[in-house]
Amino acid sequence: MTETLNPVERTALLTAALRAAETLREDRLYQDPYAAQLVGETGPELLAEIRRATFPAQGVRTVPSTPDYNAIRTRFFDDHLRNAVRDGAIGQVVLAPAGMDSRAYRLDWPEHIRYFEVDRPDVLAFKAERLSGVAPRVDHRTVAADLTAPDWEERLTAAGYRPDEPSIWLLEGLLYYIPEADGRRMLKRVAAHCAPGSLVAADIVNSAALTLPHMRPLLDVFEGWGCPWVFGSDTPEELFDELGFDVRAVQPGDPEAHFGRWPDPVPDRSVPGVRRVFFVHGHRR
Ligand SMILES: C[S@@+](CC[C@H](N)C(=O)[O-])C[C@H]1O[C@@H](n2cnc3c(N)ncnc32)[C@H](O)[C@@H]1O
């Protein structure tokens, strides 16, 4: 079934391979017992290619460490989601996209949560096959949809999502693949389907990460796969503000997103021309 996934869909297998590798580390930031069964045939090959581009046998690393980035991102958003649903005000979780994420299966969730996983049909079918027999630990619903197509809101509502009730949305590992105009439209549609007080979280790179010559080894891998990084923002707070959200942006390596793992300096935001990635989190106004 792996072969039926297109390039951007296959990045979900890369993410699973990263989580499987993290789970084997003694100093792991989280444990994902399902990741290894979600990597498919190509996940390990994709990860090997990323490792070759990131850690050259000769020479120094010039691109961010994807393994460390992914470990920090997963742990950061694990903690964020758990904290967000703790006090009972938020009753709906939407992973858009879900990919091979296994939080519905590996984290504890309050009983009142309705949990939606949105992704393309082939991705969700592959995941269901790989996880058959594993019970989610939450009221779990899948929504087979393309987030740039006109009908995902209908499909989400048909699965039981209530736009008039507070929700938390996580857009993890998505925005860099979506052209800016589509990305903005999609975020606007998310905002339109969130009750005030709903929460949003996402990761997004800056524009230098898409253009700096020393980023080429990593950018070339994604381009070579057919899913280039095409969208970034230097001012994610403003981007989300324009679309209806009040957010903060932190960078891996900042105190609240370090976890003892980020290997690079984090220059002040005023320093131009530095590759960056942001974890954005905030609420719908
Ligand atoms: C890198 S994976 C991240 C998945 C998940 N959030 C995680 O962190 O494991 C990227 C995912 O985005 C999904 N995706 C990309 N473009 C999409 C679109 N237009 N609509 C729905 N899903 C999309 C792919 O199918 C893939 O599962």
146 CA from centroid of ligand 1 (Å): 9
Amino acid 42: pLDDT: 96
Token output for 256: 């609240």
In Å, how far from its chain's centre is CA 223?
19
Q: What is the mean pLDDT of the chain?
A: 97
Number of DSSP helices (H) and strands (E) in the chain, helices first: 10, 7
Q: Is the pTM of this model over 0.75?
A: yes
Percent of the chain having pLDDT more than 90? Answer: 98
Residue 155 scores a pLDDT above 70: yes
Count the Cβ atoms, other than its own, within 10 Å of residue 144: 16
The 10s digit of each residue's pLDDT in 14-43 is 999 999 999 999 999 999 999 999 999 999
Q: What is the mean pLDDT of residues 229-247?
A: 97
Question: Is the distance from the beta carbon of residue 147 to the nearest atom of ligand 1 less than 6 Å?
Answer: yes
| CATH code for the structural domain at 2-284 | 3.40.50.150
Give, in degrees to the nearest 5, the angle at Cα 188 between 7 and 97: 30
Residue 1: band (very low, low, confident or very high) from pLDDT cuts 50, 70, 90: low
Locate the ligand 1 atom nearest the alpha carbon of residue 148 and give its number: 19
Question: Does residue 146 line the site of ligand 1, with CB under 6 A?
Answer: yes
Domain map (residue ranges) of the chain: 2-284
With tokens 């925005």, the residue in question is 175
For the Cβ of 99 lying below 6 angstroms from any atom of ligand 1, the answer is yes
42 contacts: CB under 8 Å, gap ≥ 6: 2, 10, 13
**CA–centroid distance, residue 12 to ligand 1 (Å):** 6
Predicted local distance difference test score (pLDDT) of residue 8: 98
Task: Please write the tens of the pLDDT for every residue from 64-112.
Answer: 999 999 999 999 999 999 999 999 999 999 999 999 999 999 999 999 9
SS3 (DSSP) at 17: helix
In this model, does residue 47 exceed pLDDT 70? yes
pLDDT bin (cut points 50, 70, 90) of residue 3 is low
Hey, whose CA ends up nearest to atom 26 of ligand 1?
Answer: 9
Q: Which atom of ligand 1 is nearest to the CA of 5?
A: 25
Distance from residue 85's CA to the centre of ligand 1 (Å): 23
| Torsion over CA: 281, 203, 8, 37 (sign) | negative
Strand 139-144: give its sheet, edge to edge: 139-144, 114-119, 92-95, 167-171, 199-205, 277-284, 245-250
Query: In this prediction, what percent of the chain has a pLDDT beyond 70?
Result: 99
pLDDT at res. 83: 98
